[in-house]
Structure 1
């Protein structure tokens, strides 16, 4: 079976992890700082904070830009709402609930599978605490258009709704020639096991301002300044925080994999370009948008197909794995009070499917996938 995902691991990773284990400093050691420095250089933004997973990063980001965890005025305080997309993994949206805030669902653009920015603009209100966008499968949201929407909201409402970009699937993606994390918003990457750049588990929060970065560094570890004199108990916690730091073994894995990730990313893009060419116009298949101003990472390859059940059966019979990746989040029981009409997502929810596009595909694998799809189902 041709897999949909596969773990990319440098041959150098075991030796780097062994060095950490031998030194005996598994947490709060030098490897995380070294990894952060390397990521800063790669992204072109020095304001980065490594955490233990992408979901922790979203928790931290929400706490920084949308108010204190759980609110600060008591159990009955209206802590506001976060505008979010239901077409994502649950790890994007459950931090909103953990912060005691409501989710207000924004529709999905059938062309991009990202948030429908027209619907977003309609739904920004005085209750909006934050906007959570997802670069789904590593296809960047139109960030210039999003900035214009937020500019207009600021003029209308008298405050600027903060934007958090979930970049979990988007390592290496660019918008207008710049890596995600350079467009004025708080961004969160994931380095989970099957991400293109993996630490086995980990994440990164990328901040747009020095003050937010300073707070993020403190709040990822209980709000405690690690440079303070804790031996004599002579330190203060002005703003409490979480226990979200990345450990040094994860950072060692990440450093090793950072050395190999660029050619892997290039292979994802090469495979996607092949599909774009060979599957265009195939009966029963519709491709998603490709805009000239952005370069996706193609964590997986999306298709909109007719008779999805027959399509998945045909590919499985021919040894090709497919997946829905995640259920639309608004259908879960735990968010039933927030359900709303989402006609864009409704039109495509039964047609979306994802096929393998990764670095592990041989040219024979890639041709086989194309031939099977072109043969019909």
Structure 2
């Protein structure tokens, strides 16, 4: 959190206007600059961004299917069922954790409306291959980029490659607005529609001739998904540090890559996608004794985590269950160790020493 965040928030709190207003516009403009993309909408959460993307892709089709990975936060997939669509689980690469494009075509039916891509830990998936498949079958690609702001794929920032790209600014992301999110949208017509839908479907640029508070005809029911000026002010305070924070994550990841490189027999590193740069929101390793290693690291005062568990095992998704062998492999061996900007040189050395000592 920026040290001057209170200076940004106080004028908004005392202004008499704390809803979606001028600070939100400023923050959206900063995001457009950061992502190098124009069609960006701020929202109240990354989950809302995904929900809105699914709404646009499904377009009221109650027989719709969405192809999506199971190894992710449940926030990726809850909005699918909330939109009335069916989930079709896609398997992943057992080391990177990203969706495996080689299995996608066998999952596509006449009901398929979109493929959801999660950039695990900030490592971009193979977007060229995925978008080629989607284009072939005239379906949409939705990127869950909650981990991936600042990541690049073939020289372009994540946010520029697919139909819809959802970002999260939740409390522990690289960029936080305390809670919040954004949606980048390829087509101008979709962008205009989404801008209405984020506030009930109301056109806030049009008003009654006699009463500012009375909206003109609302053509499509929307949501209360907008970001307010308080959250936007927090974002404006923090976004100026984003590049520096991501750079520090990458430096820490490079350090671990080098230190673990001689121990590939017992510590496998998550492979990074060619021609891309991860944001390294997570640093993932694979070991055969994952649970034992977690316990050992905890005893040494080192936090580690699986971060997410396979969604297809949740009761709420029981109707969509299928066998996902690569997901099962990933889930049994993966572990995320600290990679954040706050690590000191001593922290990094300790993490490396203990992981090497206890991994099997």
Unaligned runs of 5+ in 2: none
For residues 182-193 of structure 1, the aligned pairs below 5 Å read 182-193=160-171
On the 8 A contact 1:66/1:162 being kept in 2, the answer is no
Q: What do the CA deviations read for 1:162-212 (whole angstroms, capped 9, x no partner)?
A: 111000111100100111111132101000000000000000000101111
Does 1:127 find its partner at 2:111? yes
CA–CA distance in structure 2, aligned partners of residues 356 and 185 of structure 1: 32
Q: How far apart, in 2, do the equivalents of 1:21 and 1:346 lie?
A: 48
Equivalent in the alignment of 1:221: 199
Structure 1 stretches of at least 4 aligned residues deviating more than 3 Å after TM superposition: none
Aligned to 1:90: 74
Q: Does 1:81 align with 2:59?
A: no
Correspondent of 2:181 among 177, 189, 203: 203
- Give how far 1:238 is off: 1.4
Check the 8 A contact 1:108/1:114 in 2, yes or no.
Answer: yes
Partner of 1:103: 87
Partner residue, 2:122? 138
**Partner residue, 2:315:** 333
Q: Tell me, which stretches of 5 or more residues in structure 1 are unaligned?
A: 1-8, 72-77, 155-159
Structure 1 residue 290 displacement after superposition: 2.2
- How many angstroms apart in 1 are the aligned matches of 2:190 and 2:157? 20
Structure 1 residue 309 displacement after superposition:
1.6
- What TM-score do the two structures reach when normalised by structure 1? 0.92
Residue 234 of structure 1: how far off its partner (Å):
6.0
Cα distance in 1, alignment partners of residues 309 and 262 from structure 2: 28
Give the whole-Å Cα distance in 1 for the aligned partners of 2:292 and 2:204. Answer: 57
Superposed CA offset, 1:98-125 (max 9, x none) = 0111111000111320111111122111
Distance 1:291 1:116, change over 3 A: closer
Which of the numbers 244, 258, 263 marks the counterpart of 1:263?
244
1:82 partner SS? strand
For residue 40 of structure 2, the aligned residue among 38, 43, 48 is 48
Q: Which residue of 2 aligns with 1:5?
A: none
CA RMSD of aligned residues (A): 1.3
